[in-house]
């Protein structure tokens, strides 16, 4: 299914298909069929009823437009769905049609259908996150010695390595994926409670039916029905928001490094990607834009879900009814960000020469911290800081190297010496624990690579 135009920047085709009308309809029908099979197995309804319900659950005859119209009147799509399905079953075997939906309530259908869809979304999203991890793991190893400017408050700062930067990206995404995986594991449980969460219609068989239903659907079995307790889904929504935010952070860094004035990295290029309708020379960070758009939308979606958590008693008025579009949008935004950043991570190109040029363009002032620390052992920190600050300002004003200016100040030359000043501006000599931190960030990754 192609993504609707209005959602073209907010989803991927697999996730658009997953949350399509037909897919949602199939998930709801899957619940009803599974429930009937389990209840027939336990002798609660006739086996003929289960067979009739299963044979009537082909989604083709259902009019989803009519289902949507009636859902607006019923407050849930489950009620008109059950009516439509019962009519189809009755046309084939009227005597067993009454056993459809036995013991269930409408929210059992809609909630469990949503959980079924989330179970199918998980591998799609996690596959792209795994692609990113693997690509960044290899990228970090390849660029462990590629020196670049560190940047604080968007200003030039002491040098770092691109390998360390990429390892930090990777570690945040890995933590996000692991958090998301745990949240999925907790959330993927059936909803089956009947009218008020007691399954009274089923008598003493309620727990048995619920356990068997969970097995039939391949979902977890919670301690009790959770109609108005939405904490598991809330944790999943929040975890999605966090990993999408981490993807957005990577996209922000890359898009800034792609600016024409910086030009240190570039997204992979292909036909129809990153161009401009008016400027033929443009190579725009479109993948980053998609990820950032998802990250921009996500806080509002997460807040929307959290605001619906305080639900009344055993069934909510408006709380659960608000969730389907919110959760669907969260999953699609996460998937769009992950797919975009996976493509970027696997094809990101680097210009080490430009990185070196940008380092040199600072006239060595990025090593002012280094000079101040060296000088502080002789002159004290405050005086050293003041002298180096004055020298750095002069170097920028006169467009000269900081080391040259420092060498002209007798007090500094006397303390540091000519040899120290000559080696002051060597980036590789001021990387500190960059490589140690890079290796620590990578040591817990699940990506397999021997290149680092």
Helices (H), 218-322: 231-257, 286-307
Contact 244, 298 (CB under 8 A): yes
Round to whole Å and give the CA distance between 268 and 368: 36
pLDDT in tens, 418-444: 899 989 999 999 999 999 999 999 987
DSSP conformational letter for 100: T
CB atoms within 10 A of CB 144: 20
Cα–Cα distance list, 438 to 137, 268, 397 (Å): 10, 25, 36
Round to whole Å and give the CA distance between 244 and 230: 21
Residues 68, 276, 378, 433: which is the catalytic one?
276
Query: What is the token pair recorded at 145?
Result: 């010695």
Residues 47, 120, 151, 315: which is the catalytic one?
315
DSSP conformational letter for 293: H
The predicted pLDDT at position 447 comes to 46
Cα–Cα distance list, 45 to 12, 39, 377, 417 (Å): 41, 6, 87, 93
Q: Give the strand pairing for 265-266 and 155-161.
A: unpaired
User: What would the DSSP string read from start to end of 364-400?
Assistant: TGGGHHHHHHHHHHHH-HHHHHHHHHHHHHHHHHHT-
| 298 half-sphere exposure, CB direction, 13 A CA radius | 28
Residue 323 — left, alpha, or beta (φ > 0 → left; ψ -120 to 50 → alpha)?
alpha
Residue 276 among the catalytic residues: yes
| Bridge partners for 266 per DSSP | 349
With H, G, I as helix, E, B as strand and everything else as coil, classify residue 289: helix
The predicted pLDDT at position 320 comes to 86
20 exposed, middle or buried (CB, 10 Å; 0-12, 13-18, 19+)? middle
Could you tell me the pTM of the whole model?
0.93
The predicted pLDDT at position 2 comes to 76
Q: Which helix (H) or strand (E) holds 170?
A: helix 162-187
Residue 277 among the catalytic residues: no
Q: How far is CA 344 from the centre of its chain?
A: 15
Q: What are phi and psi of 157, to 5 degrees?
A: -140, 180
Low-confidence ranges of the chain (pLDDT < 70): 1, 270-282, 445-452
Round to whole Å and give the CA distance between 83 and 331: 30
Domains detected in the chain: 13-104+202-208 (1.10.275.10), 106-191+226-352+431-452 (1.20.200.10), 365-424 (1.10.40.30)
Round to whole Å and give the CA distance between 151 and 289: 21
Cα–Cα distance list, 255 to 104, 258, 346, 401 (Å): 51, 5, 16, 29
With H, G, I as helix, E, B as strand and everything else as coil, classify residue 347: helix
CA torsion through residues 219, 220, 226, 230, sign = negative
Contact 393, 184 (CB under 8 A): no
């Amino acid at each position: 299914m192609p993504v609707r135009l209005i959602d073209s920047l907010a989803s991927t085709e697999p996730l658009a298909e997953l949350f399509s009308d037909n897919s949602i309809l199939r998930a709801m029908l899957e619940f009803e069929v599974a429930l009937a099979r389990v209840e027939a197995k336990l002798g609660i309804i006739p086996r003929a009823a289960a067979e009739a319900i299963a044979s009537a659950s082909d989604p083709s005859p259902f009019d989803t437009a009519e289902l949507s119209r009636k859902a607006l009147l019923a407050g849930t799509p489950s009620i008109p769905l059950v009516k439509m399905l019962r009519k189809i079953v009755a046309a084939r075997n009227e005597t067993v049609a009454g056993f459809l939906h036995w013991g269930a309530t409408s929210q059992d259908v809609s909630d469990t259908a949503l959980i079924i869809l989330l179970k199918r979304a998980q591998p799609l999203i996690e596959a792209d996150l795994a692609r990113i991890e693997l690509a960044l793991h290899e990228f970090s190893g390849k660029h462990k010695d590629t020196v670049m400017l560190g940047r604080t408050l968007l200003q030039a700062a002491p040098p770092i390595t691109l390998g360390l930067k990429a390892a930090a990206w990777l570690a945040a995404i890995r933590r996000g994926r692991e958090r998301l995986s745990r949240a999925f594991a907790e959330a993927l449980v059936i909803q089956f409670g009947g009218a008020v969460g007691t399954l009274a219609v089923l008598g003493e068989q309620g727990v048995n039916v619920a356990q068997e239903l969970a097995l039939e659907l391949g979902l977890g079995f919670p301690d009790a029905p959770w109609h108005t307790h939405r904490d598991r889904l809330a944790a999943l929504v929040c975890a999605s928001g966090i990993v999408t935010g981490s993807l957005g952070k990577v996209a922000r860094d890359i898009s800034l490094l792609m600016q024409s004035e910086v030009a240190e990295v570039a997204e992979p290029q292909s036909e129809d990607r990153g161009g401009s309708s008016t400027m033929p020379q443009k190579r725009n960070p479109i993948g980053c834009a998609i990820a950032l758009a998802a990250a921009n939308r996500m806080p509002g979606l997460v807040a929307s879900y959290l605001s619906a958590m305080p639900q009344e008693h055993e069934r909510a008025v408006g709380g659960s009814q608000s969730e389907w579009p919110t959760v669907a949008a969260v999953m699609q935004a996460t998937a769009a960000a992950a797919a975009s950043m996976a493509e970027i991570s696997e094809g990101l190109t680097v210009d080490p020469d430009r990185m070196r040029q940008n380092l040199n363009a600072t006239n060595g002032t990025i090593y002012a911290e280094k000079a101040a620390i060296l000088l502080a052992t002789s002159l004290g920190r405050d005086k050293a800081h003041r002298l180096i600050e004055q020298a750095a300002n002069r170097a920028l004003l006169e467009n000269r190297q900081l080391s040259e200016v420092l060498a002209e100040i007798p007090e500094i030359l006397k303390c540091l010496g000519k040899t120290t000043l000559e080696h002051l501006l060597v980036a590789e000599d001021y990387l500190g624990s960059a490589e140690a931190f890079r290796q620590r960030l990578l040591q817990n990754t699940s990506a397999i690579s021997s290149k680092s």
